[in-house]
């Protein structure tokens, strides 16, 4: 027996399937009751995979943020180290002392040893 399909039949089928999904009867209408535990288990595994993926994504976002912060701090550290090295050179110290009007300068005589 051959049945001719009409567009109304497709609409009725989709409507029936939609109502069955809303009522929670869709799987029972498909006669998959014996596989219900397997379906629940598969849903649980998929939900866990999505949850773990979201946790990993959050962790990677934190790592990227911390890497940016570390690179900025490394730049600041290098700049401070450069400034320290530039300020500790003998010529720059002598220039800073002259700017402030100090009489301290480079020693001209060798140091003397004071004995008690």
Give the model confidence (pLDDT) of 67-96 as tens digits: 999 999 999 999 999 888 877 777 777 788
105 inside domain: no
110 inside domain: no
Secondary structure class of 25 (helix, strand, coil): coil
Q: Is the pTM of this model over 0.85?
A: no
5 inside domain: no
In the chain, the number of structural domains is: 1
Range of the domain at 42: 15-99
Which pair of structure tokens corresponds to residue 81?
């180290």
Round to whole Å and give the CA distance between 26 and 15: 12
Asked if 41 contacts 35 with a C-beta cutoff of 8 angstroms, the reply is: no
List of residues 6+ apart from 96 with CB closer than 8 A = 87
pLDDT beyond 70 at 3: no
The predicted model gives 5-24 an average pLDDT of 81
Q: Mind listing the pLDDT tens digit for each residue in 30-56?
A: 777 788 888 889 999 999 999 999 999
DSSP H helices in 24-115: 26-29, 36-88, 90-99
Which pair of structure tokens corresponds to residue 13?
């089928």
Residue in the block written with tokens 């940016």: 68
pLDDT beyond 60 at 105: yes
């Amino acid at each position: 027996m051959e049945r001719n399909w009409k567009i109304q039949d497709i609409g009725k089928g989709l409507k029936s399937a939609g109502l069955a999904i809303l009522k929670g009867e869709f799987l029972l209408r498909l006669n998959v009751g014996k596989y219900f535990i397997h379906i629940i288990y598969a849903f649980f595994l998929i939900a866990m995979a999505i949850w773990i993926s979201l946790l990993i994504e959050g962790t990677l976002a934190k790592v990227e943020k911390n890497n940016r912060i570390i690179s900025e701090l490394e730049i600041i550290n290098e700049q401070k180290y450069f400034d320290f090295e530039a300020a500790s050179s003998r010529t720059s110290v002598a220039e800073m002392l002259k700017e402030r009007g100090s009489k301290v300068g480079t020693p001209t005589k060798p140091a003397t040893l004071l004995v008690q």
